Amino acid sequence: MKSVARVALGFGVLFLFVLAAPVLAGTVYKWTDAQGRTYYSDTPIPGTRAERVELPEGPCKEDIDAAQRRSAAEKALEEQRRKELAASRSDVTPPTLALPPLPQNDRSEYLTTVGTGILFDPTSARALAQFSLSLRPAASVPDGAYIEARFENPGDARTPLRASKTVERNPEGGRDALILSPSFAGLRCGTFLATVDLYEDASKKRLLGTHQQAIQSRVDLGHVTSVEQFWEEIRRFGKCCP
């Protein structure tokens, strides 16, 4: 029995009848009829000018076995990489340092804390940080009053970090004062005290009052080894502490 495959191109439609299995490798014959349609068969058809076409040999059993081994090896390698990634994440050691709840914003006669924070860059090789303290003066505090803040220094308890600010109205009409400490090294996990003296003016002749605010750090920059480790510990534990 002849096995015939016909490819007819007309009106944009392709018809293909697949060759029988015995001719998938070896020799087939190709010819074209008067209408320009092309045919293939495993034996030459009498009365046609058939062209002999050599088909490539199909893969042998050894080639198939080798391909299957390569596929299995690639899957095993991918699984090993997945396990290593999961292990690297699980290797993050939970911190042993217990921190108290975040401090509440304090209020004194003349000042109210509206926000605290710590600024740092975990990618920086210098590993410097700054405390931030946002204060809202009471209505009785005059414009031009002088704020002088002393932040406890995590890197050197004997040398407080000093910063100052003058009470003045911003373009929106508010008077909140944002105070940033000088940059410092040695940020560690713990709670640090900021003490604020409020003077009537920059001459500092008349002290109106003193305000204190605790600021908590949940990051030890000496413990940070990579940005990935930093964010993984923050995500899992809410802090990056030893």
Q: Is 130:153 a contact under the CB 8 Å cutoff?
A: no
Rounded Cα gap, residues 227 and 124, in angstroms: 10
pLDDT score recorded for residue 105: 94
The count of other CB atoms within 10 Å of the CB of residue 194 is 25
- Give the residue among 28, 49, 40, 38 at the shortest CA–CA distance from 8: 38
Rounded Cα gap, residues 3 and 17, in angstroms: 9
Q: What is the homologous superfamily of the domain 111-237 according to CATH?
A: Immunoglobulins (2.60.40.10)
Mean pLDDT over all residues of the chain? 80
Question: Which of 66-80, 100-114, 154-168, 187-201 shows the lowest per-residue confidence on average (mean pLDDT)?
Answer: 66-80
Rounded Cα gap, residues 232 and 100, in angstroms: 21
pLDDT, tens only, 104-146 = 999 999 999 999 999 988 777 678 899 999 999 999 999 999 9
pLDDT score recorded for residue 55: 63
pTM of the model: 0.60
Judged against a pLDDT cut of 50, whether residue 96 lies above it is answered with: yes
pLDDT, tens only, 40-81 = 666 666 667 778 777 666 667 777 777 788 888 888 887 777
Each domain of the chain, given as residue ranges in start order, spans 4-55, 67-91, 111-237
Q: Which amino acid is at 36?
A: G
- In this prediction, residues 26-41 reach a mean pLDDT of 70
For the chain, percent of residues with pLDDT exceeding 90: 41
